[in-house]
Structure 1
Amino acid sequence: MKPPRRSLWPLAFLLLAFLRPLAAADLFYLGQKIPDIDKPWASGDYQLLIDALAKIDTTQANALPRRNGEFTGPIYRRMVNEENFRPQLNIYAPLELRQNEAREVLFRLKELMRLYFDFRAAQQPYGAEALGLMTYSLRQQAVLFTLTVEFWTTLSQTEQSNPVRLQGLQETKAAAAMLTSSALDYLDLTRQFARQDLVLYGAELGKQLPELFVHLRSDVRQELLARLTKLAEQHPYAEVRTSLGETLPVLQAIQADVEQQLAQPQPVGKPAAKLDLSVPQ
């Protein structure tokens, strides 16, 4: 029988509530250094948090920051704060660096989700937090797509036809499709997640999907529409059905618009007029 792990919550409260103003550059949570929660986080900050929480999770039960925790809430809310996207969308910074940073942050968000999800449990101990990280990851994926499209427009036609470039674009689309599909899978886990958590998740998911949906492949968009239609009609919770039902027309309009644009004939470039260098008669 494993000895019970000691509760260090009083120490955590003291560190977060009282020591923070004295050392703004260094913040510790349960003895582990974590990033500054008063400024946007980059990939390195997320990695520092992951390292800290991974150590804490092995010694302290139910100690990961909570979405609405009185003392740990500010840590969690910084994890999913859209202000973190601001440096990635700063047009004055090099585009390729911003694109790489978005990719790195997305990878670390997946690592964070591994800490918060526990599929061995009958019910998720961090249901609200895990689902919140999923919707935030969808937003990060959409930001990565925005930067990818921006980068793509800077390439010459020859570069856009480069097999390596095309493969990279397809891999980004495939990863986004997998993430979106997984996001819908969680809506079916009514035994593992509390009702209020899935209701909130359904509402947040409905807000995030349109921005990412437009970037997906046509076949993936059609598949997602079919799944969402079924969920909007058959999900056990009326609130989730309502949220998805309100999202469906938006996605259907996006699908129709994209398909209409793809169906239009591409303009044929007019050959440039030859420069007449002959001697005037």
Structure 2
Amino acid sequence: FDGGNVFSVVKEIMAYKIKSTVVKFFEDTSRKLLALNQIAPARIFQDKANFFKRQCITNGKIEACHVLIIPLNTTDENLFDFQERLICLCNDLCGDYEPTVCTIYDYLPSNGSIDFYENPDADIIYNYVKKLSPIRLYLIGNETFIPNSISKYFFENEINDIDQNEYDTKYSLVENQPIDIHIKLNLANVLDSTRQLANVIIKQLDHIENDIKFPAALERANVTIQGREMVADIELQQRAIACPESSFGFSTSFHMIRQADYGATNHNDDGSDSDINNIIQYESTQSLS
């Protein structure tokens, strides 16, 4: 995987950070005015902050996917290589439509420095993403820990229903690169998980390819995709109206993966995150001062 067909989402990241910085400015100003007992102007600035929060939530249409890949103890390189291979497999299996294969980064920003467990809306976000992605594959790698708290939160909150055995009713563990034996034998410790993982099955891509249950799950996901999108959009709009002061937010837009033309999409913003923050902080303070 040479990364030649990976394209950047820096513009989306910058848009999100600009709005977030504007919201923070208005909220900080509102608190300062309240401390000075200037109630009326404080409310004006809080209303402005709430307006931009609603815009972050409702700007653009949330789109559902057929398959969602959530990385656990693995690298981004392995994640996007697996995504690209799975895209090709899904296209081969589905002749009359093109399934959408996403990673968790299509819905939630990749930021290892933020603890998702401390987000008051973590459970709400988790359930929204579950509704949008019925087939969820958790990618196992050879790292000795999970670097992303979002991935860990999703995995720990999956329901382990032993009576369910379909791809769209129960999560699956998958591998791309060969997994070291000590990782397999100590998977619960490696993932720091409370789940019973001693005899868990980690599926390889050829297993998925030859499993008749997988294309059947893709077909069911395709039948319900528009309905799932509609429900998610309505719920997000309602939440934006009912809870204008919530810090709840997804990625500012769904980064659609054009599988047939472009292949996989890299959403890791760690490389330019600091520079973008500095630029936005400077530009925002200049324009709002």
In the superposition, the TM-score normalised over structure 2's length comes to 0.27
More helix by share: 1
More strand by share: 2
In the superposition, the TM-score normalised over structure 1's length comes to 0.28
Q: Which has the larger radius of gyration?
A: 1
